[in-house]
Structures are given as structure tokens and as C-alpha cells.
Chains A and B, each alone.
Chain A
């Protein structure tokens, strides 16, 4: 709704318990009462779900134009009307008795197991039974019992006897997630939530049902029986898993993360999050965490070291060398800013890149010229007439964006267009129209939104075509990277072409800005290089003027970049800032342990460029943020960056602000259509939401709901190679091969798709690329 339309909404004044309240037409009575601070008890009601009227807990007396309803009405189903007088439990003895009666009925079959129930202490049933129930039950009969618990997926458990059958979970799954895998079945008091016989609750959003369950009927396997709510300290935090930008709540007990919940931000995630954001936090307490600094000794082995020793070793190694800086896409904006300043001030180079994935020069230019200027937000999706997805599978790569598009598909039937090779489950839910190439898309308007994924950089000219498409139609364009830190890294200047605030390195005025802010005489002007180029430069002969001979690496998995990335780091001096042991720490000369998200303060910019700052959740964590370690290192090297704390870094970023000078031009690149020869196929891929991503390690319950790796091919291709659904197919490149079960989809005979980093389908390490020419035969 546009602001103009918003002002046109008719306002209605009603009287509730003697107080007038004016609310927009269509507001439900229960919500109008909330505005007055009158809390009507409820279970099935949820502001983001369609009204059910099932629990009957919110009964109130209503009168319209002097005519009273003969019986109390469910205030969660009735919109306000002019001349309406509502009497809640506070002023109507009938409503009060009705509510107490319902509460007593809800409790007759509810077990008295609050002392062992996860929900005890934060339970709407417990709380409202105290506020709106009888002090004691009059029920003396036999309670209904069920076998418990039923595991409706590997991560969600159901205790049916606790369920009050409010249908919040089933409505959420159907209406919000589009995954109607749970349903109410049986009848009467034996009614229960159930799953289909052969289909567990395989939704990426299943955790939300646990959060909105008003009783302890749905519990998460990883939190069940682990803690009591009153022993937890809740902290606002941000999700580190993707660029959707979810508000999060992290619950800590004695220095340990016990659970994470979706926070409430109506502009971003509303009240939802995905299962990865909710449950993938075991990496924090993994045995692989780097506990102390380590320095490689003369024996070639890593040895534990004190911080001064390690910092000195790193400084000595870097001081005289030509150094590049590689940081993964997961750094906070403050940490990325630390790397950016460290590269320019301490190392005197623009050789810094945050992209530890496939990338291109075209993308560098797109980032500098387009992404830094983008103003597209979730609100644009809310009012879009069409949404175009280019190199982007929202359900897998940015699940909250998916929920927002799905909401509009459901509500307004908007058209979704995708350039995917086949209709994924997400695409099917969005009823997406598939196109073969960007040039096939037409009919966009200035209300359309073009969402570009990071994978578009893998096709030369595709980002240029996307920009042309948007510009031609005055449509909105946004770039949605997968990782949470990428957008912040751009603003922080952790990429060769940009200084903080989107300032082009090539612009003298921009450099002067930053020189002044940083109190330095000059900044490097040499053109910086991309991740790939930095890796290549490390392997040039040291006499070559372009050669690099040391690298600072933060949070990079070389296998995300290419098969050869790790080997390119072998003969060079590597300083690794890492949370966990990895293939990089295994070859690094100095390893400096850094804090993970809940152990530090920081800020993530979501794909919109909106910041979500968070404070340290585990207050007594001993780990340090990257920026603080870089500051120590810079000091030791002798070219300080003066960023001793995250707070100081934030102040400096705020003081610098955004660039308002001439923006860089996006230099377009001509499309180079992918060609395939002979009987080969073009492999494409993306990462599924739940896969072998390093931040998902150690969470078996979550992994249990990951979609199994399959290779999608067309029916024609399947016939050609003599396989049918479920048979194994062998996909080979020059480097290697994988075997995957076949799934048939409507797609071109020349295409094949496989997940990028799933169990049994890790494409870079096996085939050597994420998209390219392969052969496929019956295995």
C-alpha cells in the first residue's frame, strides 16, 4: 500500500470497556483492544495468520448500533464496525465467565507436566490460565493421553497431549511457508497434528511452528529438555547465515548459546526466520574451534602461542612483504572495515576482496556502480507487480525474501519470473514462470522488482543484461548475495575498487576524504585485484613486479573459490584469522582465533543495505573481534589503524558516512553465451539452504531435514541415457565425477542441475567448477 492509499483508509471508532479507540477499518476487535492496553486472552489468534476462531478463548460481548449479539463472540474473528461497543472480561461478567469456562476446558486434557515442559515459564497457556482461569480445576475425570513424543521431522517433536489444537502451526505451514506438510487429523478430543504417512515436516521454516506454539506441544529436538526459560539470558542479535537480515534473539545460559529465536522486525523478517538461522549454531561450541593463537615452528608444526608471540610472528612475517587480503563473506561491517583499513594503511595495498566464491571483474564494476546505489527494499517486493529472479533461488539463498515474495503471490497473485533451468520447489510455490535467458523477459513496469543473485556473476554479461532489463523498464533492481557480510563489506571498502562508504578508489576527492578521516598522508592508488587475481599473484615469481608473497586470510574456505585456491596458498606466508580449524589454518604460518557472532558486537547490512547492529551476547567471551586483532597487528607492524574496539570502529564508520560524490560507472560486458559441444550437458547449480556449509556443522537434527542431493535432467535426456527417476547418473568433468540419483523435471535436454555443496554433491572439489560442461551417463 502506498502512503497515499494509507491515508485513505477509513478509520473507525469503537468503545471497548468504556474507552474509545480509533483504528483502521478491518482491524479485529482483539487488536483494537490491544491498542487500549486491554489484553484479551487468546491461543489460536496470531496477527500474521488468518483468523481461525478455534480456541474460543477470546470471547467478548459485542453490541452494534444498540443491538447486542445474543452470545459472546470471538474477538479474533470480528472486525470493528461503527457504533460497536465491546465489553471484555474486564467489564462483562458473561465474557469473563465464558473465558474462564474455556480455560477450564482447555486444561482438562492438558497434562500437569509444566515442571518438565520446555515451555514452562514462558507458556501462554500457563500465563493465561493464571490471569484468566479458575484457581482450581473441577475436572475429576480421565485425561486423554497419547504416546509421546511424535517426531514430525528430525528437528521438531510433537507431544500431542499438550496440544490445544489452535492450528497456529498448520496455518503457518500452509499460509506463510507454503509447506502444508502438517495437518490436523482425527476428530473430537482425539484431534491431533499429524504428518502425511510418507512425508515428514520437510519445511525450511519448521522452527517457526515451535516458536508460535502457545503450549509445549511442539519442541525443537536440539533444545528439548536442555534448559528452563528463567535460566536463560536473552540478547538481541542478528542472523549471520544469510543476507535476508533477520532480527534474532539469542538465549544464553552460563556462556553457552542454548537456542536462537526469530526476532520481531516487521520491515524485514516480520516474526519468522528459517531453520538454518534458528538451529545452526553448534559451530560455536564445536571442538574444531581455535582456542589459542598458534604459530608454525621450525619443525613445520603449529604450536600454541601467547598473543604477543603470535602477533609478533605475524607482524614479522608481513612487515616486509607484498601482502594481499582475503576475507570471507561473513565478516561484520566493523571487521570488514578493519580489514579494509588494515590493507590500505598498514599494508599499503588495494589488493583486498571479500568474495570467497565465484566472481568476476564485471561483478566488481557492478558492485561499485550499481549495488552501492541501490535503494530497493522489502517494501518494493510488497507492492511489486512482478518479481524477476535472476541467478537467484530465494528459498535456498535468502529464505526471508522468499517468504515475502510468497506472501504477495498468495495475497495478490503477483507474477514471478525466474531464469532458473528448472522449477525448484521454491519456484513451484511461487508459481514462477521460467525463462531461458534474460532477453526473454518482457512486460516489466516501474512497479517490477528485479532481484539479482550472486550467481549471476558466473555468467559473463548477465549482470549487464540484468541492469539493462531494469533500466529499460524503470524497474527496481537489487542484488542479493548469499552471505550475511557481503553487503557490509562493500560499504566498509573491503574490495579493491572501493574505499569505505562506497567511495571509488580512483576518485581523488574520495581518497582525500578517507585520508583525512584516517589521518594518513596518502592512500594506495594502484588498482587492486580480485580474489582470483590475488591468489594468482601469490604464485608469480617473486621477481615479478606483480607478485605477492604473503596473505592475510579471514574466514575463507578455499574450496568455495576453486579447486586450486588452496594449493595457491601453499608457498606463501599466511596469517589466518579464524574461528575454527580449517584447511587454511592447516597451512597457515600464524593462526589468530577470532570471535564468532554471539561472542562479539557488530553490524550486518542486509541485502537492502539496512544495518542490524548487535551486541555481544556472551559477555564473558574471551575471544576477540577481527578488527581488534587487526588493530593489534597494525600497531605491531608500525602502521596503526587505531581501531581498538568495535565501538570505536562504529564511531569511525559513522563519522565517515556515505559517499555523495560522482559514482563509478558500471562498465557493461557483452554476453558470452555458454556453448556446449556434442553430447555434453551444461551443468548449473546453487547451494541448497541446508547443506554442508561450514556454519551448519555439528547440527544433525537440522541436517536431517536437508533436501537430498539429486541431479535434475529432462525426460528426454533421461530416455537418451537410459535412466529413470531414482536411478544413479554419473556426472563427469575433466577433473572428476559424482554419482547422483536422477530426478526428472521439465527442462531443456541440454541442461543438468545438481546441488553445489550437499552431501554427495560437492561440485568444486569433485568436478572442479560450479557450472560448466559435463557428461552424464547411467552409473
Chain B
């Protein structure tokens, strides 16, 4: 039985966990002091050796990404932290920044030092003003304490940290769109190559990392590679935040070693809401193909989830019980993607527009089996044809829901409409639901 492993969330119960005093009390800013005493390349090597992989969804080895930055090129380097968390279901970075913003600041100091960046940026989702305020305060306090600014810790390392609030576009979580947005342009993905490591922010070598990836760095520096590798599975090392939401008794953040299963997490969380059974769930947010009760024992690490046909993604475990109409869920998600499509490329822009109309017809009971075939063919014409991965994410709930619940789609037509009572699936409808 895998146990919880609170690292990032270890001090969340402290009232002052978000303050510099609270963070320092648990040993905060020791890792950055330690790292600044090392050679930058040694820091990169350490993160490479630890096996830390990106926590933003793709799982690319963080140390390797740092290693791509050309050194000795006489150019400015930049670190950009992607805090534009906005996928339906995904809710790990915002709680982390609310409860412990300093761990990110410390991670940024270490990462910037390693890649020889003297200016780092946090691109924060604009809607979360309360998080913005806490991160801004944390940055100010870190400056005052000498963790940021000129000649940090007397080691001759300078670092400016800028917090930037986005204007509310999901696409800006795509790293190149994020960079365009940060530069003041409309957020739309850039053509690659050149990759950000060569020409990123202001066409300078840039590392773009997820909040959780950077926040995981201080613990690795403090506790060492062996400690980190002692957690997780063969190719997925370490701890991570699993965000449990939906029809469960105790939703929230569950920090555990990679490779824990949903069954284990549900046990820790008190299970599905009373009197109900799990119907389907997403392993990593709405863009990852959905799982069913058959997948409760899939190890939630990069290989385990992808071996079962989905993606670990952001580890946003959205749980839906049998009261939920899967067609309706897919429609809601698709409406989100239609709204968030940036419009740059045809398949995403036009495809999501069409998908919503087809799903609405299916939900209304107006769709036939032939329409289902057409819908899948349409998904096939969208997936892998778009400029960035947004459209791939958009079709994955549709394809996976048809795969697991084809008959439910058809029931809508036979029934002349949705057979589900939408109120039954709400959390406030407990009695008689």
C-alpha cells in the first residue's frame, strides 16, 4: 500500500505556510544557498541524474531541458515558469502557489542559476488574483531577504524575477503561445523550430518549466538524488501532486510517489460519494483519454498511464459516478475547447466548432449511429493535424468516451434525449440521487 508523501504540501497545514517566515522555519532557502555554492553544470547534472520529469503534462526530463540551453553564447538566458494552469480538472499549481509560493521562488533561483539566467518570469493565470497577490508578496519578501536581486547570497549571482498575469487564455499554457503572450503579442503558438531552448523569449535561449517541476527542485537539492529516486517507479521518479475532484468524499491534493493507483488514492480519500460507483475518470485533466472502473489499478506514472492508453498529464483525477452522462461531459469539455481554440489553425478552429454541434445533437437524442461514425472520422481529421496539441486534447474525451460508452451515445437517440437527470450528478443533490 503506497502512502502519501507530502513534500511540496508538507507545511500546508501551517497557518503561515505562505509567508517567508513560515517557509524559512521549515528550512526554506537552504537549497538555494547550497545550489549557489555548486557549479551551475553540477546543478543541471544533479537534476538530470535525479530523473525529475516535467510535471506539466508531457513528462520531459527537466534536467535535459536545462542542458539544451547553449552556454557561453554571450546571450541572455531566461527561465519562464508556466503557471497558466487552466485545463478543466487541473488544480495543483494554484493550491501550491497559494499555500507555498516560496518553494517556487527558491526553485526559480536554483534553476536560473543552473541555466545562467539573470531574469526569470512567472506567467500566472490571470483569473486567480488571490494567488497573484501571494506570489507577488513572496517575490517582494524574497527580494528583501536578499534571495533575489543583485549578488544573491554574496555569490555574485544576479536574478530578477517578474510575475506576469495572463489575460485568460488556455492556449497560453502552450509554451510558445505563452512566450508570445509574455512578449506582449497575442497568445498563439509559434512555429518550431526554433525551439525555446535556442530562441525563446525575445528570441533568446529560454527554459519553460511547469510550476510543480521547478518547485520540486529545492527538495532534490536538499535531500539528494538517492532520496528522490527512492520514490516512484523505474522511469517515473519522485513524488507528485494528484488532484482529486468530482464525485469523491474528500476531494483535494494528494501528494504521493509516482505510480500510486487511483484505488489507493480513493482509499485515502474515503472513496466515491456515498451510495455510488465510479463510472469514468480522467487521469490527467480533460485532455487525457478517460478511464473507467477497469483502470483503478493502473499505476499513475508516465509509463503506466500511457501503457493503458491515456496520458499522466497533470494528474488531475476527475471522478464521475454513474449519475453522470458521459455525452454531456464530453459536450461540456468540447465547449471549453471550442471557446479556447486560438483560431490559428484550421482543424482546431473549425473542428471544435463542428464537434460541439454534433455532440449537442447526440446529447439531444438527434444523433444516429451514422453520426457517431462521422464524429469519429471528424476526430480522426482533427487529431494530429493541428498546429499544437490543443486539438489533440479536444478530441480525446470524445474518442475515449465513445470507445468505453458507445451504447450510451446510442441510448440518447433511442430515448429521444438524454436519459440522465442532470441534477442527480450534482454534488448538492445527495438525498435520493
A residues contacting B by CB (< 8 A) are 51-57, 59, 70-72, 77, 97-98, 100-102, 104-106, 108-109, 138-139, 141-142, 144, 164-165, 183-191
Docked pose: A191 CA to B352 CA in angstroms? 13
Docked pose: A190 CA to B340 CA in angstroms? 11
Shortest beta-carbon distance from B364 to chain A in Å:
13
Interface stretch among B228-236, B299-307, B342-350, B395-403?
Answer: B342-350
> CB distance A188 to B347 under 8 Å?
no
Docked pose: A250 CA to B357 CA in angstroms? 45
Docked pose: A106 CA to B349 CA in angstroms? 9
Docked pose: A97 CA to B345 CA in angstroms? 17
> CB distance B352 to A105 under 8 Å?
no
Give every chain B residue within 8 A of A141 (Cβ-Cβ). 353-354, 357-358
Shortest beta-carbon distance from B236 to chain A in Å:
22
Could you give, for residues 355-383 of chain B, a 1 whenever the CB lies within 8 Å of some chain A CB and a 0 otherwise?
00110000000000000001000101110
> CB distance B345 to A55 under 8 Å?
yes
Docked pose: A54 CA to B190 CA in angstroms? 10
> CB distance B343 to A72 under 8 Å?
no
Docked pose: A77 CA to B344 CA in angstroms? 15
Whether B384 sits at the interface, judged by CB under 8 Å, is: yes
Q: How large is the interface on B (under 10, 10 to 19, 20 to 34, 35 or more residues)?
A: 20 to 34
> CB distance B384 to A71 under 8 Å?
yes
Docked pose: A184 CA to B374 CA in angstroms? 31
Would you mind naming 19 contact pairs between A and B with Cβ atoms under 8 Å apart? A54-B344, A54-B387, A56-B346, A56-B386, A59-B385, A102-B385, A105-B346, A105-B347, A109-B353, A138-B374, A139-B354, A141-B357, A187-B171, A187-B341, A188-B352, A189-B338, A189-B341, A189-B343, A189-B352
Whether B169 sits at the interface, judged by CB under 8 Å, is: yes
Docked pose: A70 CA to B350 CA in angstroms? 23
Docked pose: A188 CA to B191 CA in angstroms? 18
Give every chain B residue within 8 A of A183 (Cβ-Cβ). 186
> CB distance B358 to A105 under 8 Å?
no
> CB distance A189 to B349 under 8 Å?
yes
> CB distance A187 to B357 under 8 Å?
no
Of the candidates B186, B340, B350, the one having the most CB atoms from chain A within 10 angstroms of its own CB is B350
Docked pose: A100 CA to B186 CA in angstroms? 30
> CB distance B385 to A188 under 8 Å?
no
Shortest beta-carbon distance from A139 to chain B in Å:
6
> CB distance B346 to A189 under 8 Å?
no
Give every chain A residue within 8 A of B75 (Cβ-Cβ). none
Among candidates B169, B340, B345, B353, residue contacting A54 with C-beta atoms closer than 8 Å: B345
Docked pose: A77 CA to B354 CA in angstroms? 27
Whether B218 sits at the interface, judged by CB under 8 Å, is: no
Give every chain B residue within 8 A of A139 (Cβ-Cβ). 354
Q: Closest 7 A-B residue pairs measured CB to CB?
A: A101-B381, A191-B343, A71-B384, A141-B357, A105-B350, A188-B341, A189-B353
Docked pose: A139 CA to B347 CA in angstroms? 14
> CB distance A105 to B338 under 8 Å?
no
Docked pose: A108 CA to B338 CA in angstroms? 15
Q: Please report whether the interface of chain B is mostly helix, strand, loop or mixed according to DSSP.
A: helix
> In chain B, residues 265-307, which have Cβ atoms closer than 8 Å to a Cβ of chain A?
none
Give every chain A residue within 8 A of B352 (Cβ-Cβ). 188-189
> CB distance B350 to A53 under 8 Å?
no
Q: Given A165-B343, A189-B338, decide whether A70 and B381 contact each other with a Cβ distance below 8 A.
A: no
Give every chain B residue within 8 A of A106 (Cβ-Cβ). 346, 350
> CB distance B169 to A187 under 8 Å?
yes
**Given contact pairs A77-B191, A104-B381, a sample of 17 additional A-B residue pairs in the complex whose CB atoms are under 8 Å apart:** A53-B345, A54-B345, A54-B387, A56-B386, A56-B387, A71-B385, A97-B381, A105-B381, A109-B353, A138-B374, A164-B346, A165-B344, A165-B349, A184-B343, A189-B338, A189-B349, A191-B349
> CB distance B346 to A102 under 8 Å?
yes
Give every chain B residue within 8 A of A184 (Cβ-Cβ). 186, 343
Give every chain B residue within 8 A of A165 (Cβ-Cβ). 343-344, 346, 349
Query: In chain A, what residue has the closest Cβ to B188?
Result: A184
> CB distance B387 to A108 under 8 Å?
no
Among candidates B186, B346, B384, B386, residue contacting A57 with C-beta atoms closer than 8 Å: B346
Give every chain A residue within 8 A of B340 (Cβ-Cβ). 187-188
> In chain B, residues 168-194, which have Cβ atoms closer than 8 Å to a Cβ of chain A?
169, 171, 186, 191
Docked pose: A105 CA to B354 CA in angstroms? 8
Whether B246 sits at the interface, judged by CB under 8 Å, is: no
Give every chain B residue within 8 A of A51 (Cβ-Cβ). 191
Give every chain B residue within 8 A of A100 (Cβ-Cβ). 381
Whether B339 sits at the interface, judged by CB under 8 Å, is: yes
Whether B238 sits at the interface, judged by CB under 8 Å, is: no
> CB distance A187 to B343 under 8 Å?
yes
Give every chain B residue within 8 A of A54 (Cβ-Cβ). 344-346, 387
> CB distance B343 to A108 under 8 Å?
no
Docked pose: A97 CA to B384 CA in angstroms? 12
Of the candidates B186, B346, B349, B387, the one having the most CB atoms from chain A within 10 angstroms of its own CB is B346
Shortest beta-carbon distance from A695 to chain B in Å:
40
> CB distance B191 to A101 under 8 Å?
no
Docked pose: A164 CA to B343 CA in angstroms? 10
Give every chain B residue within 8 A of A101 (Cβ-Cβ). 347, 378, 380-382, 385
Docked pose: A138 CA to B346 CA in angstroms? 16
